[in-house]
């Protein structure tokens, strides 16, 4: 039997609208809310002007939306009367409104700065009264069960519901007090049938009861199964809160934990660091060890572990950058391009360990910076010259006061990425003493098979160096230990020819020095003859470092003239102007022997500063068959001289030498420029030719120079530094160069112009040398 509402009249009002976010207002319930939006404040003011203080409270569909329209509001809501308004310290307005009856808006419109709506009261269809009472009792019992399970309904609400006899008021009060989703509350508010409203309430109460039982069950299991680590975590969280209140070091320890977890450290490293944090947390901040641990953790956090730069993808861009920065150096450019091409195809490649070997000033130190720019990587330079302490590489153990990581990790920290270009400059200048051997420490760093797990003594955890592109530089390989040399890919960087130096000066050095001294192309012009005059008369080097200094000197002198006379015409720096600005030439062109002489032979030598010519002189005098060697010769060169004279004594008849001379004549071999140390086996055939010339009294050709090691059987063995030696011969006007036959393959590495001007004579034994060099 259905019971319809006895009310014959439906109340209709034009009321200001108050939209709520995340909350539903019900009749018979006082609702409190904060007001901040301007249109809501206007609505409250308008309700006060009406006198009855009535408003229509409805719910906003999207909680996050600030600027709303009528379409963003539910049309069903509650007509309420404002009971209290108070202003909060934060500037917002606190409102308390009492719900009167449910209503539905016919239309909501924005007017006079606020929403207004014509609302009709929502009638209630009660239905069968017996069922209504049955559902009411069921709901009352469920609320008791929820309370028994520790549910989210307060005792005050339960006591209040016990006093309510009207089913409609019961539904409104209970639904308002429950923690139910807004859309469910809105559905209960909109429903006109009382029985359906009770059913919805019962469903909500059953859900709440089930949730309460599950929560209680989980809580019980957790309490039963809690172990030591969980207890520690719980206590640690409490301790964290206490430390935060006290403002002491506990908060700092937790901050370290958060930073370490966010850093992306390898598992083993993170585990060790967290243990260090636990140690730190157990000691007072005034303890010395506390500062040591904090410093260690800071070092770990400052190192790059996952940060990586992306390599250049376009090979043409890489080549263009290298060409723009440096002239020549084709081997280096080719090797870097190969590395990038393979990396692009495979996606992952262990970085090579490159070693650039050559004389000073040829670009060994500057080209790695260009390589980094070409690859779009970070660049770090680390000088090894004079490093004697192994700890410089591996770091100091933390047991020492003031200990720090080694210079390798310091360089990685400076780079800020795990794949920089790291230049180890002057690796041939590393030495050792009682504090250890740095070269041995570098074995791990420069081994692609080991450096993925490099261990610094300070860090005490593996650090990955496999993605670092190591480039080392050296003037000579002689002082680099063999195991270390074996780990590096050697690329020889030879000295420059006159033509190469001229091009480098024109395209790189002159523009650089012109700009550095405030000059423009309209104020100073260097001719090719002027540059050659500077190269040949004022520098004596394989590279271009001094050449740049001399060009800078010229630019400064011209700048002084322009400062005195701003109307001065453009200065053209030719050969004549060079002498005017730099004075007399400091180096005269090397002169070989002008006329053939007995016992004087043109030899070729290689030094760390490039190739040079030297004259080996020999003379004979009465004596007991002894040999005297002067000119500050090294042991190897002295042994070459003894090997040469032994060969000649053994083959005296072959060369027409009177054997008595060996016992009645002393031989003195001298290499001029006695203050300069000289060593190496490559002067062997030169010494042999000089001694044979003395014994046979036959002169030696002056347009021939030679280089090669001699054996006791008269064989000529290969030598190094052929390019530098050939350029030195060309510089002094020599036309023919005798070289070991085994070095014939190295001729293809020589500049084209040198091959055209010089005639190379490969020889396998000294007979061929003597036939070419000795006249008659």
End-to-end CA distance of the chain: 147
Rounded (5°) CA angle 354-358-360? 120
CB atoms near residue 726 (< 10 Å) = 28
Angle between helices 155-162 and 167-177 in degrees, nearest 10: 180
- Between vectors from CA 370 to CA 482 and to CA 393, what angle results, nearest 5°? 40
Are the C-beta atoms of residues 421 and 377 closer than 8 Å to each other?
yes
Q: Which residues belong to the active site?
A: 682, 725
Helix (H) or strand (E) holding 79: strand 76-87
* CA–CA separation, 144 and 509 (whole Å): 94
Burial class (CB in 10 A: 0-12, 13-18, 19+), 663: exposed
DSSP class of 570: P
Q: Could you give the 3-state DSSP secondary structure of residue 221?
A: helix
Whose tokens are 């009749």? That residue is 27
DSSP 526-567: E-HHHHHHHHHHH---SSSHHHHHHHHHHHHHHHHHHHH-TT
Radius of gyration of the chain from Cα atoms? 47
CA–CA dist 575, 598 (Å, integer): 38
Q: Which DSSP string do the residues of 2-41 spell out, in sequence order?
A: ----S-----EEEEEEEEESS----TTSEEEEEE-SHHHH
CA 426 to centroid of chain Cα atoms: 23
b vs e for 670-702, b when ≥16 Cβ sit within 10 Å of the residue's Cβ?
Answer: bbeeeeeebbbbbbbbbbbbbbbbbbbebbbbb
Burial 201-218 (b: 16+ CB within 10 A, else e): beebbeebbeebbeeeee
The Cα–Cα gap between 428 and 431 comes to 8
How large is the angle between the packed helices 155-162 and 129-148, nearest 10 degrees?
160
Q: How large is the angle between the packed helices 288-302 and 407-415, nearest 10 degrees?
A: 50
Decide: 656 and 640 in contact? Cβ < 8 Å. no
């Amino acid at each position: 039997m259905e019971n319809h509402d006895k009310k014959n009249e439906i109340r209709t009002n034009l009321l200001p609208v108050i939209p709520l976010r995340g909350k539903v207002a019900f009749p018979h319930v006082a609702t409190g809310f904060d007001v901040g939006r301007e249109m809501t404040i206007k609505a409250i003011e308008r309700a006060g002007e009406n006198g009855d203080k009535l408003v229509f409270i409805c719910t906003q569909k999207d909680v996050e939306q600030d600027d709303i329209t009528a379409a963003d509001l539910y049309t069903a809501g509650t007509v309420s009367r404002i009971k209290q308004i108070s202003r909060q310290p934060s500037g917002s307005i606190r409102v308390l409104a009492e719900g009167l009856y449910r209503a539905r808006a016919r239309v909501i419109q924005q007017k006079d700065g606020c929403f207004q709506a014509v609302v009709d009261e929502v009638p209630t269809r009660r239905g069968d009264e017996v069922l209504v009472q049955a559902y009411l009792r069921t709901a009352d019992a469920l609320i008791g069960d929820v309370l028994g399970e520790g549910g989210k309904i307060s005792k005050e609400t339960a006591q209040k519901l016990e006093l309510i006899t009207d089913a409609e008021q019961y539904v409104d009060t209970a639904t308002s007090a429950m923690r139910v989703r807004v859309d469910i509350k809105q559905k209960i508010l909109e429903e006109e049938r009382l029985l359906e409203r009770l059913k919805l309430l019962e469903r909500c109460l059953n859900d709440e009861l089930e949730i309460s039982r599950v929560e209680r069950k989980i809580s019980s299991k957790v309490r039963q199964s809690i172990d030591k680590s969980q207890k520690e975590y719980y206590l640690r969280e409490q301790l964290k809160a206490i430390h935060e209140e006290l403002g002491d070091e506990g908060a700092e320890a937790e901050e370290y934990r958060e930073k370490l977890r966010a850093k992306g450290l390898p598992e083993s490293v993170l585990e060790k660091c967290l243990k260090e944090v636990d140690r730190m947390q157990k000691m007072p901040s005034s303890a010395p060890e506390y500062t040591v641990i904090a410093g260690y953790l800071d070092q770990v956090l400052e190192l790059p572990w996952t940060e990586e730069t992306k390599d250049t993808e376009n090979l043409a861009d890489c080549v263009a950058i290298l060409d723009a920065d440096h002239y020549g150096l084709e081997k280096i450019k080719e090797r870097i391009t190969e590395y990038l091409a393979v990396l692009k195809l495979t996606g992952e490649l262990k970085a090579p360990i490159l070693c650039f070997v050559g004389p000073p000033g040829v670009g060994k130190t500057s080209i790695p910076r260009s390589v980094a720019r070409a690859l779009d990587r970070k660049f770090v330079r680390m000088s090894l010259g004079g490093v004697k302490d192994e700890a410089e590489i591996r770091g100091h153990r933390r047991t020492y006061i003031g200990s720090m990581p080694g210079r390798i990790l310091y360089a990685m920290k400076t780079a800020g990425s795990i794949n920089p270009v790291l230049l180890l400059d002057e690796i041939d200048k590393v030495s050792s003493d009682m504090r250890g051997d740095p070269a041995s420490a570098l074995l791990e760093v420069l081994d692609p098979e080991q450096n993925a797990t490099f261990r610094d003594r300070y860090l005490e955890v593996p650090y990955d160096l496999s993605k670092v592109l190591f480039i080392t530089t050296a003037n000579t390989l002689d002082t680099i230990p063999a195991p270390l040399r074996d780990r590096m890919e050697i690329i020889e960087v030879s000295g420059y020819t006159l033509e190469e130096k001229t091009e480098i000066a024109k395209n790189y050095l002159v523009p650089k020095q012109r700009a550095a001294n405030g000059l423009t192309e309209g104020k100073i012009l260097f001719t090719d003859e002027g540059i050659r005059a500077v190269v040949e008369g004022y520098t004596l080097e394989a590279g271009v470092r001094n050449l740049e200094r001399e060009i800078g000197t010229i630019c400064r002198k011209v700048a002084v003239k322009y400062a005195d006379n701003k109307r001065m015409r453009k200065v053209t720096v030719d050969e004549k102007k060079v002498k005017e600005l730099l004075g007399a030439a400091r180096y005269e062109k090397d002169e070989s022997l002008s006329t053939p002489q007995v016992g004087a032979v043109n030899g070729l030598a290689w030094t760390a500063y490039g190739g040079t010519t030297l004259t080996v002189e020999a003379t004979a005098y009465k004596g007991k068959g002894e040999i005297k060697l002067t000119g500050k010769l090294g042991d190897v060169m002295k042994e070459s001289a003894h090997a040469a004279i032994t060969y000649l004594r053994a083959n005296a008849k072959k060369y027409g030498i009177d054997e008595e001379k060996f016992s009645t004549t002393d031989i003195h071999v001298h290499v001029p420029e006695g203050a300069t140390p000289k060593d190496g086996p490559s002067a062997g055939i030169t010494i042999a030719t000089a001694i044979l010339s003395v014994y046979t009294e036959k002169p030696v050709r002056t347009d021939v120079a030679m280089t090669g090691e001699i054996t006791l059987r008269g064989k000529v063995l290969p030598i190094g530094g052929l390019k530098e030696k050939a350029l030195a011969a060309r510089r002094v006007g020599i036309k023919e160069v005798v070289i070991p036959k085994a070095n014939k393959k190295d001729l293809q590495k020589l500049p084209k112009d040198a091959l055209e001007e010089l005639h190379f004579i490969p020889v396998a034994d000294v007979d061929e040398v003597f036939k070419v060099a000795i006249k008659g």
